Structures are given as structure tokens and as C-alpha cells.
Amino acid sequence: MIPVFGLLLGVIAGLFLDVSVPLSLQPYLPIAIVAALDAVFGGIRAVMEGIFDSKVFVVSFVANVLIAALIVYVGDQLGVGAQLSTAVIVVLGIRIFTNVATIRRHLFRA
Amino acid sequence: MTVSGKETVATRPRDASMSLLNNVFAQPMDPGYAQAAAKRAESGQTTPLGQKKGLSVALIAGMLGLGLLLSAAILQAQGSAGVVSAERAGLIERIRAQESTTERLQETLADLQSSISELEDSRLQSSGAGQRVREELQLLQGSAGTSAVAGPGVSVVLDNAERPEEAERPDMARVLDLDLQQVVNGLWAAGAEAISVNGQRVSALSAIRMANDVILVNSRPLSPPYYVQAIGDSRTLPNHFSDGPGGEFLRSASAQWGIRYSVRAEESIELPATSVNLLYANNAGEAS
């Protein structure tokens, strides 16, 4: 329950503080969000399975976001940025779906 | 050799070429969690070190970061959408302004042209020789198409076939520039004295042509149905037209491609003027 409040607090803080992302970083924002979602759902699943570890979570969160952004940045420099973003989103999307499905099974036993 | 080769082929997993996808599906969670749990089990800790605390702080921090990213992205998307729509609105406004300017200029032009013809009239009416010149001028302007004319005549309405896209040849089921050319030429041949197509007066400098599936007359785009109006003897003009090449062409186009048309005699029709500006052609007597 408390993590949900954290999410709400983050959204509200972002809306009120008017965080402005530099123009050069804007293309990487959606990818960073998908990577963060992946890390968060992985963490929630770990909590459900009783193997949550805060160090692993923080490291995976930060590394996910940075690596996803870096891959797209390198792709942009090579001229295949759109294709690499698709690749990142496909892989992370599959992981998010699988994790959410497992979370759902833990929650509803179905 | 061959047997063992066959065996290796047989034992190879069927989805070996999809190992990447399988890997993604099999390990959706970071393997680090399992490793950390295994380490804890080895060192004898049954519950992870301060799980309650670790869960709340780290996970809340992660959620906070996710929330910040989300709201930043939403704000960004809204901001860029606002810029795009504002640019659009600005462009539309400029187009509107230019259109109204063009309209105003055209009105001024029409005003000036009518005042010119009024002045011409009043100057020429003052003398007997001028009177004759004025009548001659009116006649010439009527046939050149530079003055509006009225009189009895005939109107021919042309339209595409009922469903051109379902026709055997959709390109032929629409009214083409060729059809309009045939009708206009047929009307001239039948004795028409002045012709207009959808309000565009056909003069010696008019062209009926097609560009991008749109028929242009006097370089103005027209849309179907096409009203071809011709001034002439309303008793003989319809019959002469129907018997002539124009009528024959229309009948065959209607029978073959389903082009719809109707020919009707008119008591009185008015045709607008067109502007004929000769830039290079001078009177031969004056030029030499």
C-alpha cells in the first residue's frame, strides 16, 4: 500500500514542481519510463515471492533506466534509434507482461 | 557419422532458434533477487535483513522516481501538443487573412472594371460616330467573352456515372476533359454564340484540361456535375447539338461508361464575362 502512495506522491510532485527535461534528453524519457516500470514490477514480484532485496532493486532500477536510455542514444548516433527503441520496448514489454501475470497469480490465485 | 549427425539434429531443441525470446520469457525478473535470496539462505538469515524497512524505503523511492518520470513525460507531451496546435491555428489564421485580402482585391477589380465600362459608354454615347463604335464594341466584347451576355439557349448537364469506383474502368466512368471538350465543340458547331462551363466563360484563350483528376477551365478547378450553358437559337440549338458530333459523343459515352447527361432548351440564360488580357499580341496594323 505504501509504495502506491509513493507513486502518487511522485506524480503529484512532478506535476507541481514542473520538472522540465532538457530538450536533448526528451527522446529518452518514454524509454526510461518503460525501463523503470520493468524494474518496479520485477521488485513487486520479488516482494510477493519473498525474495525482495532493496540493494538489487535500487541497482536494477537505476541500471535499467540508464542502459535503456544509453542503448537508444547510441542507436540515435548510428541512425537506428527508432529500431533500437522498438527492440528495448519489446523486450521490456514482454518482461513487464510476464511479471504482472505472475503478480496477478499471487494476488488472486488465478 | 551420418547417424550421429542425425541424432544431434533430432536432440536439438525445436525452438533453439528462439532462445532469445525464451530467455526473456523464462527470466522476466532480475536474477539478482534469487541470488541474493540464496546468499541469505547460505548465511543462515531466514528473513532478509530488515525486510520491512528495506521494502518501504527502496520500493517507495523507486515508485517516487517512476511517478516523477511519468508526470514529466505527460507534461512534455502536453506541452509539445500545445505548441503544434498553436502553430496550426496561426497558419490557419494567416490563410484566412490572405483569402479575405484576395477577396477584397477581386471586389475592387470588379468595381474598377465596371466603372471603366461605364466611362467608356458615357464617352462614346456623346457622338454619332461614338455610338456606332460602342455598338461594334459591345458585339465584339460579346463574342470575345469579355462582357456578360444574356439570351435564349441550351444547357447541357454532365455528371459521373452512378458509382464510378465500381465500374469496369473507373477512369472512364468519370467525366473527363475530353468529354467537356467534345460537348463545347459540339455546341459551337451547332451554332452557339457564347458558352460557359460551371460559370466559367469559354473564350478564345480558354483551355479545358485535366490536372490531378480535376477539370480546369480558365485555370479554375471545377467539380461535377458540370453545367455547360450556351446561348444561341433555343429552337434549333438543342436539335443541332443532338444530331451533331457532340450529341453522338455523349450518347456513346452514356451507353458505354454510364456517364449521365441531359440537354434542355432554356428561355433565358446569363453568362458571366471573363478577362482576356493580350500581353504580346498587338494589332498587326499598329505593330508594323
At CB < 8 Å, which residues of chain B contact A?
Answer: 21, 24-25, 28-30, 32-37, 48, 51, 54-76
**B106 in a domain, yes or no?**
no
**B19 in a domain, yes or no?**
no
| pLDDT at residue B1 is higher than 50 | no
pLDDT of residue B223: 85
pLDDT digits (tens, 9 = 90+) for B67-107: 888 888 888 777 777 788 888 999 999 999 999 999 999 99
pLDDT > 70: what percent of chain B? 88
Average pLDDT over residues B233-238: 86
0.85 surpassed by complex ipTM: no
Domain that holds residue B166: 151-271
| Range name among A24-38, B41-55, B218-232, B250-264 with the lowest pLDDT average | B41-55
Under 8 Å between Cβ of B151 and B231? yes
**B179 in a domain, yes or no?**
yes
Contacts of B45 in chain A (CB under 8 A): none
pLDDT of residue B233: 86
Contact A21 B34 (CB under 8 A): no
Total structural domains within chain B: 1
Contact B62 A45 (CB under 8 A): no
A44 burial class (0-12, 13-18, 19+ CB within 10 angstroms)?
A: buried
Average pLDDT over residues A97-108: 88
CA B26, B27, B33, B37 torsion-angle sign: positive
pLDDT of residue B244: 86
List, in order, residues 6 or more apart from B97 with CB less than 8 Å away: none
pLDDT digits (tens, 9 = 90+) for B127-155: 778 888 888 888 888 888 888 888 898 99
**B245 in a domain, yes or no?**
yes
**B79 in a domain, yes or no?**
no
CATH number (domain holding residue B215): 3.30.70.1880
Provide the shortest C-alpha distance from residue A79 to chain B (in Å): 23
B74 burial class (0-12, 13-18, 19+ CB within 10 angstroms)?
A: middle
The three three-digit cell numbers of residue B90, written as one number = 496561426
pLDDT of residue B11: 66
Contact A6 B64 (CB under 8 A): yes
Domain boundaries of chain A, sorted by first residue: 23-108
A45 contacts chain B (CB < 8 A): yes
In this prediction, residue B10 has a pLDDT band, given cuts at 50, 70 and 90, of: low
**B2 in a domain, yes or no?**
no
Q: What single DSSP character describes residue B176?
A: P
In this prediction, residue B36 has a pLDDT band, given cuts at 50, 70 and 90, of: confident
pLDDT digits (tens, 9 = 90+) for B244-277: 888 888 888 888 888 888 888 888 888 888 877 7
Three-class SS state of B190 = coil
